[in-house]
Amino acid sequence: MKNFFWGIIFFFSFNYIKAQDFHFSQFYNAPLLLNPALTGNFDGKFRAIANHRMQWDGIVAGALYQTSSVSADFRLASWNSNFGIAIVNDMSNNNIYNVLEAALSYSYTLKFNRGVTFIGLQPVYRTTFVDINKLPEDIRQDPGLYTNATNFDLNLGLFQYHKQIWNSLNLYYGGSLNNLLTSEAYNEFGQQVKPRRYLAHAGGDFRLTDKIRAHITSMYVYQAKASQLLLGGYIASFPELRISDDFTINRVNFGLMLRINEFTPQSLIPKLTTDISNFQIGISYDYVVNSLGIGSMKPYTLELSLRYIFNPEEHREYECFNEIY
């Protein structure tokens, strides 16, 4: 019975990962993974971000999926260019299936009146590994299921920001094409190495008072004939509360997102982020609103993020969009 249960969990999780790339609920707190065109899109000289996601905890001992990432990017204003690097480790089911990616990210900036356009390029190195020694012998059936591989890939992105198009309203939108190389490649078992992923994101913000702004945001992903939509918003307040000589609470955001998979609501996601001087700390929780087809199970997902911006007071000669998470 135990092996049967492990078999169901493994095959379910393995096929899920093969069909869908990793993702974060705090997607704008992983900008280089969301869209390479967001590289360097911040006020300051240098930005570093760390993310960790524990997904579907409660099904097995520990989270069924765990995703960790670190990224860093900087601007080279004299060249209208931005450079970055991102590393992601995505593992499932006690690290039976592991994906490690390292990406170099570049974006070029085109400035115009009340707006800016970013064009992004991102080469990716990817390695996948399946540890069959952690599986019961009676479910080691399909050799194609356990193929380990190393490959190179390419992502492209575009991002547009419009400042104060009407009164205090700012709008932004963008998209990315991912896995442009491996989507055309197949392994020796006739399996597609990595399906192409199409991603679009958009939103806006407007002033409610001098110290409060309202934001709306959305993200849509289509990959391997599966779709996912995130819709929501949040309220941002700017208390400028000094807690010591070195630290000031500059901003507090509270928001709520709805995740919809295949036109079916899957989870509600409350989020809270706080900007304390150069740091931003974020936390979110996915509350599952359906059973995901696993009996009465409603596993939870917790996500943490940490961001640091060096010299955030140094604003560029044009406005970048307000990072919303």
The contacts of residue 238 (CB under 8 Å, 6+ apart) are: 211, 212, 213, 250, 251
Give me the pLDDT at residue 242, please: 87
Question: Does residue 21 register a pLDDT over 90?
Answer: no
- CB-count burial class (<10 Å; 0-12, 13-18, 19+) for 264: exposed
Question: Does residue 63 register a pLDDT over 50?
Answer: yes
Give me the pLDDT at residue 3, please: 47
Q: Supply the mean pLDDT for the chain.
A: 81
Report the C-alpha gap between 98 and 101 in whole angstroms.
10
Give me the pLDDT at residue 316, please: 53
**pLDDT tens digit string along 66-116?**
899 999 999 988 899 999 999 999 887 767 778 899 999 999 999 887 788
pLDDT band at 321 (very low <50, low <70, confident <90, very high): low
- Taking residue 140's Cβ as centre, other Cβ atoms within 10 Å add up to 12
Specify the pTM: 0.84
* pLDDT over 90, % of the chain: 45
CA distances 210 to 40, 238, 257, Å, are 27, 9, 25
Closest residue by Cα to residue 230 from 197, 195, 200:
200
**pLDDT tens digit string along 210-269?**
899 999 999 999 998 889 999 999 999 998 888 888 888 989 999 999 999 888 898 899
**Mean pLDDT for the stretch of residues 145-168:** 83
**Mean pLDDT for the stretch of residues 164-178:** 87
- Taking residue 194's Cβ as centre, other Cβ atoms within 10 Å add up to 26
The DSSP bridge partners found for residue 115 are 112, 162
Give me the pLDDT at residue 147, please: 64
Give me the pLDDT at residue 132, please: 73
Cα pseudo-dihedral 297, 92, 51, 148, rounded to 10: -160
Longest dimension (CA), the chain: 65
Three-state SS at 314: coil
Give me the pLDDT at residue 5, please: 45
Q: Half-sphere exposure of 48 toward its Cβ, with a 13 Å CA cutoff?
A: 5
Closest residue by Cα to residue 4 from 116, 157, 136:
136
* pLDDT over 70, % of the chain: 76
**pLDDT tens digit string along 173-221?**
999 999 998 765 555 444 556 789 999 999 999 889 989 999 999 999 9
Give me the pLDDT at residue 135, please: 66
- Provide φ and ψ at 87, rounded to 5°: -125, 130
**pLDDT tens digit string along 133-149?**
766 665 566 555 556 77
Cβ distance 289 to 268 under 8 Å? Answer: yes
Report the C-alpha gap between 255 and 112 in whole angstroms.
31
- Taking residue 13's Cβ as centre, other Cβ atoms within 10 Å add up to 20
Burial 309-321 (b: 16+ CB within 10 A, else e): beebeeeeeebbb
The enclosing H or E element of 160 equals strand 149-166
What is the architecture of the domain spanning 2-310?
Beta Barrel (2.40)
The contacts of residue 65 (CB under 8 Å, 6+ apart) are: 13, 17, 22, 53, 54, 55, 56, 90, 91, 92
Domain ranges for the chain, please list them: 2-310
